Amino acid sequence: MNFVVTPARVELLKAKALEVSANAYAPYSKLHVGCALISDLGGTYVGCNVENASYGGTMCAERGAIFSAVAAEGPKFKINYLVVMSPMLESLPICGLCLQVISEFATADTKVLFKTNGEWCEHSFAETLPFRFSKNHLPA
């Protein structure tokens, strides 16, 4: 990882995730979620959940932030640190679909931060999704 994430930067990511969660479009679940991440190059990107009446069209906050980062930095983008939160829940794990998308742009050392029972939990991505499916599983 090229960019060092300081504790102050983590606090800034938490604040950005909280701020962007207010912009969520969640008329069905009523659950507002925000995500903020920092790339290996030091870029900061945010996303919020956007629901749709045909639930398959819904976009989670994590994927929104990642797609914005790829649009800005290109296909070599890598996640250094990712924070996901909702002001409405004391526990908010990352869904399986988002974990799979994160795996495309994470390294084993990428840090993820979310709340469990009101406490912040920081894990390496390898700890969060140890048996992920990746491009290494596809034929050459």
Catalytic residues: 62
The DSSP letter of residue 53 is S
Closest CA to 99 of 87, 110, 88: 110
CB 41 within 8 A of CB 72: no
Q: Is the dihedral of CA 120, 124, 125, 130 positive or negative?
A: negative
Residues 6+ apart with CB under 8 A from 75: none
Residue 107: alpha-carbon gap to chain centroid: 14
